[in-house]
């Protein structure tokens, strides 16, 4: 609109310079003015034009349908009341935005930018019906190597955030009441009793997606059970040459990639140890992946594995960033 006005003013003044009623000196003066006045109009129009901050638009339904909420990504902003914990799709023009499950940019869940493309359907991702506030990427995203437990499945109810370093107690209000967990920890060990006693199992690679329902069959050890957690340092696993943990054995401390003991000649049939996830490889230096094993494998179902090297499942955390993509959902079969 402003540019149209400036253009019309320029046309009007130009017509006046061609009017035969004016003398040559008067026309020359008008031409000089005509070169200045439109430029002033143009600069003024540009100067007063508003600069809109970057924005994300959340939609109640998939495929950008139904009610929507525009959120200017500048500092920390709440989602519109009618769409809090109800968004199902997203698009926008932001360079970087963090998304949170709580007011005030608390309980970080993921990051998105426009180069990742519009998210047409949050179904089967951790973002479905979860976004409460949005922040620019200067906003905090939690402590390094941390985990957040929730009272209910799908990361709902009261929460407890713990930095996984040594032995740490569960927050008092969630002792033996946790039903889901998310975070950025590569690996943590969970216990049923305080002071890291009575081992329950490991949770690993949380940046690949949270554990959204402990009541699933493979996670029932954790449901309403966790009283304390620790890091996964000093974990060991023992491999045996025979079924049911008999014969020669090889105990390996899990700290990155480790070679198999030479006395087993790379042949193993059963395992033991306080671990819920170890990767096995046919080749040295953790190459040629075979599969994942845990301490429940007292025998390998009449299978003999040729194992040259092993590593814990949290060791492959090549991405040291604390952020994770917004549209994650851990597959049902990707559990300890």
> Each residue of 312-330: pLDDT tens digit?
876 655 455 678 888 887 6
The confidence band for 30, taking pLDDT boundaries of 50, 70 and 90, is very low
Q: State both tokens at 280.
A: 């096995």
HEC states along 173-227? HHCCCCCEEEECCCEEEEEEEHHHEEEEEEEECHHHCCECCCCCHHHCCCCCCCC
Of 270 and 76, the structure prediction assigns the larger pLDDT to 76
Of 76 and 231, the structure prediction assigns the larger pLDDT to 76
Position 4 pLDDT exceeds 50: no
Per cent of the chain over pLDDT 70 is 76
The confidence band for 295, taking pLDDT boundaries of 50, 70 and 90, is low
- How far, CA to CA in Å, does 192 sit from each of 64, 161, 257? 44, 17, 29
pLDDT value of position 332? 53
Give me the sign of the Cα torsion angle 315, 273, 302, 265. Answer: positive
pLDDT in tens, 56-74: 999 999 999 999 999 999 9
Distance (Å, rounded) from C-alpha 280 to C-alpha 300? 13
Q: State both tokens at 88.
A: 């199902």
Position 272 pLDDT exceeds 80: yes
pLDDT value of position 46? 40
Of 243 and 283, the structure prediction assigns the larger pLDDT to 283
pLDDT value of position 202? 87
Distance (Å, rounded) from C-alpha 163 to C-alpha 144? 7
Average pLDDT over residues 200-217: 86
Position 190 pLDDT exceeds 50: yes
The confidence band for 281, taking pLDDT boundaries of 50, 70 and 90, is very high
Distance (Å, rounded) from C-alpha 219 to C-alpha 223? 7
């Amino acid at each position: 609109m402003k540019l149209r006005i400036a253009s019309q003013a320029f046309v009007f003044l130009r017509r006046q310079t061609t009017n035969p009623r004016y003398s040559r000196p008067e026309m020359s003066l008008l031409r000089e003015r005509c070169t200045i006045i439109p430029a002033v109009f143009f600069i003024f129009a540009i100067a007063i034009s508003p600069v809109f901050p970057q924005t994300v638009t959340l939609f109640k339904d998939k495929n950008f349908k139904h009610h929507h909420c525009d959120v200017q990504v500048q500092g920390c902003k709440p989602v519109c009341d009618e769409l809090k914990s109800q968004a199902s799709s997203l698009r926008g023009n932001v360079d970087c935005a963090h998304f949170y499950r709580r007011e005030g940019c608390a309980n970080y869940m993921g990051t998105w930018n426009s180069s990742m493309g519009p998210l047409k359907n949050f179904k089967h991702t951790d973002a479905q019906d979860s976004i409460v506030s949005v922040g620019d990427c200067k906003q905090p995203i939690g402590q390094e190597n941390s985990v957040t437990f929730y009272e209910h499945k799908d990361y709902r109810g009261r929460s407890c955030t713990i930095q996984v370093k040594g032995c740490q107690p569960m927050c008092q209000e969630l002792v033996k009441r946790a039903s889901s967990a998310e975070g950025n920890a590569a690996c943590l060990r969970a216990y049923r009793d305080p002071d890291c006693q009575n081992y329950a199992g490991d949770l690993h690679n949380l940046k690949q997606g949270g554990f959204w329902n402990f009541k699933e069959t493979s996670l029932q050890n954790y449901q309403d059970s966790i009283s304390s957690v620790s890091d996964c340092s000093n974990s060991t696993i023992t491999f045996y040459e025979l079924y049911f943990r008999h014969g020669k054995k090889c105990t390996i401390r899990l700290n990155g990639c480790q070679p198999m003991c030479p006395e087993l000649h790379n042949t193993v049939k059963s395992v033991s140890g306080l671990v819920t996830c170890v990767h096995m490889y046919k080749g040295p230096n953790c190459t040629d992946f075979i599969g994942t094993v845990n301490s429940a494998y007292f025998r390998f179902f009449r299978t003999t594995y040729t194992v040259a090297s092993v590593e814990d499942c949290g060791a492959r955390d090549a991405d040291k960033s604390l952020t994770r993509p917004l549209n994650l959902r851990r597959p049902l079969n990707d559990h300890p």
